[in-house]
Amino acid sequence: MPLTDSPFRSLQQTEAEARFALLDVTSYDVRLDLDRGEETFDSVTTIRFDSRGGDTFLDLKPVSVRSIHLNGAPLSTDLLTGGRVPLTTQAGANEVVVDAVMRYRTDGEGLHRSVDPADGRHYVYGMSFMDAAPSIFACFDQPDLKAPYALHVRAPREWTVIGNAPGEQVEPGVWELPETRPLSTYFVTLVAGPYHVIRDEHDGIPLGLSSRVSIAKDLDADADELLTMTRQCFDEFHRLFDIRYPFGSYHQAFVPEFNAGAMENPGCVTFRDPLVFSSRVTRGQRIQRATTVAHEMAHQWFGNITTPRWWDDLWLNESFAEYMGNRVTADVTEFHDAWTHDSYARRQWGLIADQGPSTHPVAGNGAVDATAALQDFDGISYAKGSSVLKQVNATLGDEAFFAGVRDHFERAFYGNATMHDLFGCWERASGVDLSSFTRDWLRTAGPDTLTVDRAAGVLRRTPPLGRPAERTHTLHVATGRDGGWSTTPLTVDASEVPFDAGDAAVVVDPGLDTWALVLPDEVSVDGYVDLFPATTDEMLRSSMWSAVRSAFHNAAIAPARVLAVAEAALPSETNDDAVGYTLPWLIKKVAPLSDDPVAALGRIHAACRALLAASPAGSTVQLAGFQAAIGSATDGDLLEGWLAGRDLPPGIEPDLDLRWRVLVQLAAMGRQDPTSLQEHLDAEPTARSRVEHTRAMASLPTADAKAWAWQRFTGEVAVPNYELEAAGLGMWRPGQESLTAPYVERYFAELPGAPSVHSGWMLGDVTEAFFPITALDPSTVVRANEVIEADGLDLTIRRNLVDATDELRRRIAVRATYGA
């Protein structure tokens, strides 16, 4: 029967509990034929399981079904509805065999098939996370029904096949992958195609890297760094956990059009392949890649050996991997400044999510089904959760912390557990009662706000409105005057604690030892302007910027004052993360809300030029500054000169990345047209070029360009996920409001129907990317809320629309407060 006969139903937690109580899955045997065309593939699944006897269901999302057999007897294929096949099981051993035709996907989920525009080669990879596994093979799709998997794959003869276990080609085009350790369905992957493969070994563990052939030389150039980090991380994780990596080989596959940063599939981690650097990058981008590598390695223990029983504990996977990824990267790799990178790259992501209307507790989110769980896969789960676990470590100490973790793994080796189980292990290891900590930090949403009241001589702690908590913050406070800083430890264990700031500038929690919304007062912001040039402590600088960004997000500081801080800080900046994260925020958010956006861009551009003049030629800080100089430029002649290689700062070479940055900026100015952009794409038809060509086309200041972008929103023109997102982000450009005005109402009218065109991860991305963020009028918020409150709105759309609307509301508040 066709896939679209009825909508898919998201698995309910109650259904998962009932199925877990009924079944014990023994094994999966999956046969895939990937050599039958470019649209579909054959999937034959044999599942052996024990049952207490009774009714249940199998998850399956095919194009069509050839046959279903339960214990040797045929079942009608018409039983399939809503992605489920009802089964009446017998007590004892059972076997179900499903022969189905599945569709390759282009949305980064299921079995994704991609065509490399550079050479026309086809690549496939599996992404089974959340509820995508049934579009690859029939399964009982929930995290606590683990089982071993054996895969048998037929593929084109020139392809290589890698999965959770290493593949062996037994005859041309036929690959056998031996049975794995017990895995949850969402971990099962397959990476198949004419991939370029590098192999190595460390401490008895076979290592591998792979990428598309068109970027093989770039992977070769990065291989030593990647493999060195992998070896260092393995050694440190083995030391900390005292449990060897148990999944055999460890392959890291860089795959095209991947939605997330990476996915921790045991034995075969998949990464988005822009992490193979084809152009020159900053140190911050290398740190990001390093922490991602370490993050996914941490998952091999926390998540893969011991897996959450249900999706409401998925935060613990991510929080733990986030904490360990940063910690291990900083401790044992060349990227010792990983925590500073984290303060720029992740802190605001988590704080903004925690302040929004969709905030939720770190733990115990009440994820009634898989779809609801996915909505909380956000900065709270990653950044806030990591911060809280860092505090647990500081409270217990390393010895008790890791003793509890090891106990947790050993009690549920290849099994499943809950947050309650882990905290019980920590309490037994330490003798510390963590119940109040769990209540206040993990089960209460929202951040405390920390502010200095100079007149009262106190530092004030304000809990989130309507969510009372008694959180103790153990931190430091930095005070600055006369070009220098001093730091004092402070415990904030009441609503007010004595603190005499005098006339000094203050940075609360400069080491990011706690989780709180820190709002600076006017005296401190004035002090930052004076102190930034002489401040060399990188974490302190990042904390000043975090405070300024939080104040702006809450309309507590004027755009002009933010620009004054930037003008003071940037010429003395030596950390490219400060440049790479702060300047795009200034360009995209602060400047458009200024009294005179063009003049504001001019001030930012001048600060960039001052940074370029102060930075060593060829340094990564210079590179980050030049990238921002492109993004803030309003002089088309200057940009065209840079595109042609004229008047470039010494040390800057115009590679593919920089050329497309210039082209996108020129397109937004109307200094390119579709013909010229196509010529640039034809000259270098890489995957990166395709995405940036889309961004540039959507950025053109013409009605045709906006209609071109909108065709991708509606699905009239189908494009892969990266290009879809680029079309939305390019469409809504400040200064082009007269062109995008007709699409404000169209967005809200047509968004509820988006699930008929987009699904899963892409549905959230398209909701956010095409949101009319430049329509700075209260009526836009009113219209958005009408859609949010409408019955029947898809959960993914609602969540992303709530967050985007809150961001718009806050931008309008800045305008209203400061008179732009």
H/E stretch holding 363:
none
Alpha-helical regions (H) of 398-537: 398-411, 419-430, 435-437, 522-531
SS3 content of the chain, % helix, strand, coil (to 5): 50, 20, 30
Contacts of 102 (CB under 8 A, 6+ apart): 40, 41, 42, 43, 61, 62, 63, 110, 111, 135, 136, 137
Q: Coil, helix or strand for 205?
A: strand
Structure tokens at 332: 């044992």
Between CA 664 and CA 156 the distance in angstroms is 38
SS3 state of residue 381: helix
Instruction: Give the three-state DSSP class for 480.
Output: strand
Phi first, then psi: give them for residue 331, nearest 5 degrees: -80, -35
DSSP string, 240-298: HH-S---SS-EEEEEETT-SSSEE--TTEEEEEGGGS-SS---HHHHHHHHHHHHHHHH
Cα–Cα dist 46/342, whole Å: 44
Contact 660, 696 (CB under 8 A): yes
Burial of 486 (0-12, 13-18, 19+ CB in 10 A): exposed
Residues written for the chain: 820
Distances from the Cα of 388 to the Cα of 431, 438, 511, angstroms: 19, 10, 14
> Which CA distances in Å does 13 have to 55, 366, 533?
17, 9, 54
Coil, strand, or helix at residue 685? coil
Catalytic annotation on 296? yes
With left for phi above 0 and alpha for psi between -120 and 50, is residue 543 left, alpha or beta? alpha
Q: How far out from the chain centre does Cα 212 lie?
A: 22
User: How far, CA to CA in Å, does 72 sit from each of 46, 61, 85, 94, 97?
Assistant: 11, 22, 16, 9, 8
Contacts of 112 (CB under 8 A, 6+ apart): 104, 105, 106, 124, 125, 126, 127, 255, 257, 258
Six-digit token pair at 196? 């370029």
| 727/287 Cα distance (integer angstroms) | 28
CB atoms closer than 10 angstroms to residue 571: 19
Residues β-bridged to residue 31:
44, 152
Residue 488: helix, strand or coil by DSSP? strand
d(CA 521, CA 499): 14
CA count, 13 A, side-chain hemisphere, 124: 28
- Given the residues 296, 318, 538, 768, select the one marked as catalytic: 296
Residue whose token pair is 């991997």 = 321
How far, in whole angstroms, is CA 297 from its chain's centroid? 16
Place of tokens 């409150």: 789
The strand pair at 54-59 and 84-89 is best described as antiparallel
Cβ-contact 365, 373 below 8 angstroms: yes
Instruction: Please list the residues that pair with 491 across neighbouring strands.
Output: 474
DSSP annotation of 164: S
Q: Please identify every residue annotated as catalytic.
A: 296
